[in-house]
Amino acid sequence: MSWLPKPVVELIETALVTELSVVRKDRRPITYPLIPMWDGEKILMTSSILFSRKLEHLKDNPRVSLSFSDPVALGGRTDRATIQGDARVIDGDPHTDWEQVLPLWSAKEPVITEFLKARVAFPLFFERSVIEVMPRRVFYWPDGDTAHAPEVTTDAGWTGKAA
């Protein structure tokens, strides 16, 4: 059972896109739009090796944040959340490792199974790494208005340091 507030879990499950922010070596924040998936404990995303700069940054610094803020990508929901957490990149076999999340991915983007049948047309797009984010702290805006202070929830077992 996750410690994440229920509305935040719903946001993750609903979101077609989240904004993943990572930190470059020179401390510049960089934000990438990705499809978030929820496995009941962690947030999962995949990234093609074509767009692997983010993976390099994550390997150098696993601290990340995920913003759920666009009502269009959230099925019309107007509440917003930012989740901070620690990321791990799984890329032992970029050809097959990511296929474990295909059921969750295709639930949000059904057309991906059709694309996968034509894997020969985009071979490098389907060489992918899995990004696994363990949530540590959540900022939640029930009305989506950041003029109001967010509700903050923290993982009870978190020491404040990246894993």
User: Which residues contact another protein (rule: CB under 8 A)?
Assistant: 16-17, 19, 21-23, 27-31, 33, 48-53, 55-56, 61, 63-65, 67, 69-70, 72-73, 75, 80, 82, 84, 91-95, 108-112, 119-125, 127, 136-137, 139, 141, 144, 146-150, 152, 160, 162
Residue 46 vs 69, nearer CB to another protein: 69
Which CB atom, from 40 or from 92, has the smaller least distance to another protein? 92
DSSP track, the chain:
---S-HHHHHHHHH-S-EEEEEE-TTS-EEEEEE--EE-SSSEEEEEEGGG-HHHHHHHH--EEEEEE--TTTTTT---EEEEEEEEEEE-S-TTTGGGGGHHHHHHH-THHHHHHHTGGGSTTTT-EEEEEEEEEEEEEETTS-TTSPPEEEE-TT--SS--
Tell me whether residue 38 or residue 126 sits nearer to another protein (CB atom).
Answer: 126
Rounded to a whole number of angstroms, the minimum distance from the CB of residue 59 to another protein is 8
Nearer to another protein, 1 or 132 (CB): 132
Give min distance, CB of 34 to another protein, in A: 10
Provide the minimum distance between the beta carbon of 97 and another protein in the complex, in angstroms, as a whole number.
11
